[in-house]
Protein backbone atom coordinates (compact mmCIF):
# COMPACT_ATOMS: atom_id res chain seq x y z
CA UNK A 1 0.00 0.00 0.00
CA UNK A 2 1.27 3.45 -0.87
CA UNK A 3 0.15 5.11 2.37
CA UNK A 4 -0.68 3.35 5.61
CA UNK A 5 -2.94 4.86 8.25
CA UNK A 6 -2.61 4.19 11.95
CA UNK A 7 -5.73 3.32 13.91
CA UNK A 8 -5.65 6.81 15.45
CA UNK A 9 -5.55 8.45 12.00
CA UNK A 10 -8.47 6.34 10.78
CA UNK A 11 -10.58 7.30 13.81
CA UNK A 12 -9.86 11.04 13.32
CA UNK A 13 -10.50 10.92 9.56
CA UNK A 14 -13.81 9.13 10.19
CA UNK A 15 -14.76 11.84 12.71
CA UNK A 16 -13.88 14.60 10.26
CA UNK A 17 -15.74 13.02 7.34
CA UNK A 18 -18.76 12.02 9.47
CA UNK A 19 -19.42 15.70 10.16
CA UNK A 20 -18.90 16.66 6.50
CA UNK A 21 -20.80 15.70 3.36
CA UNK A 22 -17.44 15.36 1.56
CA UNK A 23 -15.98 11.89 2.27
CA UNK A 24 -12.90 12.37 0.06
CA UNK A 25 -9.51 13.50 1.36
CA UNK A 26 -6.71 14.68 -0.96
CA UNK A 27 -3.12 14.01 0.10
CA UNK A 28 -0.12 14.85 -2.00
CA UNK A 29 3.14 16.72 -2.34
CA UNK A 30 3.75 20.13 -3.87
CA UNK A 31 6.84 22.26 -4.40
CA UNK A 32 7.05 24.71 -1.51
CA UNK A 33 9.03 26.01 1.43
CA UNK A 34 12.74 26.29 2.10
CA UNK A 35 13.41 22.54 1.77
CA UNK A 36 11.61 22.04 -1.53
CA UNK A 37 8.41 20.07 -0.84
CA UNK A 38 5.34 20.38 1.36
CA UNK A 39 2.45 18.04 2.02
CA UNK A 40 -1.05 18.73 0.76
CA UNK A 41 -3.78 17.46 3.07
CA UNK A 42 -7.34 18.67 2.64
CA UNK A 43 -10.78 17.64 1.51
CA UNK A 44 -10.90 16.87 -2.21
CA UNK A 45 -12.57 19.80 -3.97
CA UNK A 46 -14.47 18.75 -7.07
CA UNK A 47 -13.91 15.44 -8.78
CA UNK A 48 -10.67 13.45 -8.67
CA UNK A 49 -8.46 13.45 -11.75
CA UNK A 50 -8.76 10.42 -14.02
CA UNK A 51 -5.35 9.01 -13.01
CA UNK A 52 -5.66 9.76 -9.26
CA UNK A 53 -5.09 6.77 -6.99
CA UNK A 54 -7.87 5.97 -4.49
CA UNK A 55 -7.39 4.31 -1.12
CA UNK A 56 -10.92 3.41 0.01
CA UNK A 57 -11.47 3.01 3.75
CA UNK A 58 -15.22 2.41 3.57
CA UNK A 59 -16.48 5.59 5.27
CA UNK A 60 -13.94 7.80 3.48
CA UNK A 61 -11.38 7.69 0.66
CA UNK A 62 -7.88 9.10 0.32
CA UNK A 63 -6.98 10.38 -3.14
CA UNK A 64 -3.36 10.77 -4.31
CA UNK A 65 -2.37 12.39 -7.60
CA UNK A 66 0.06 10.38 -9.75
CA UNK A 67 3.09 12.71 -9.37
CA UNK A 68 2.86 12.45 -5.55
CA UNK A 69 2.86 8.63 -5.41
CA UNK A 70 6.65 8.33 -5.68
CA UNK A 71 7.13 10.81 -2.81
CA UNK A 72 4.51 9.19 -0.54
CA UNK A 73 5.21 5.51 -1.20
CA UNK A 74 5.74 3.78 2.15
CA UNK A 75 4.51 6.74 4.21
CA UNK A 76 2.43 6.35 7.37
CA UNK A 77 -0.19 8.90 8.32
CA UNK A 78 -0.62 9.06 12.09
CA UNK A 79 -2.61 11.17 14.52
CA UNK A 80 -0.61 12.10 17.60
CA UNK A 81 -1.24 13.80 20.91
CA UNK A 82 1.68 15.77 22.37
CA UNK A 83 0.74 17.65 25.51
CA UNK A 84 -2.01 20.10 24.60
CA UNK A 85 -1.21 19.77 20.89
CA UNK A 86 -2.63 17.19 18.56
CA UNK A 87 -2.67 16.62 14.83
CA UNK A 88 -1.87 14.49 11.83
CA UNK A 89 1.77 13.51 11.36
CA UNK A 90 3.39 12.35 8.13
CA UNK A 91 6.00 9.64 8.78
CA UNK A 92 7.74 9.49 5.43
CA UNK A 93 10.78 7.25 4.84
CA UNK A 94 11.46 9.15 1.59
CA UNK A 95 12.07 12.45 3.39
CA UNK A 96 15.79 13.05 3.96
CA UNK A 97 15.56 16.33 5.90
CA UNK A 98 12.97 18.78 7.24
CA UNK A 99 13.23 22.54 7.47
CA UNK A 100 13.41 24.22 10.85
CA UNK A 101 9.80 25.37 10.71
CA UNK A 102 8.60 21.84 9.98
CA UNK A 103 6.55 22.94 6.99
CA UNK A 104 8.70 21.49 4.20
CA UNK A 105 11.04 18.58 3.51
CA UNK A 106 13.72 17.35 1.15
CA UNK A 107 13.64 14.09 -0.80
Residues 12-24: tens digit of each pLDDT: 999 989 888 899 9
pTM for the model: 0.81
Using one digit for the tens of pLDDT, what is the confidence trace for 45-71? 989 999 999 999 999 999 999 999 988
Beta bridge partners of 26: 42, 63
Specify whether the CB–CB gap between 38 and 30 falls below 8 A.
yes
User: What is the C-alpha separation between 11 and 77, in angstroms, rounded?
Assistant: 12
Amino acid sequence: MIVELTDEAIVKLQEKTDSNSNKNIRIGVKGSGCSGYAYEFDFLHGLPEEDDYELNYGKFSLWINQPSIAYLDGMTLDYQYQGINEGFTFINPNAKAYCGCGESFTI
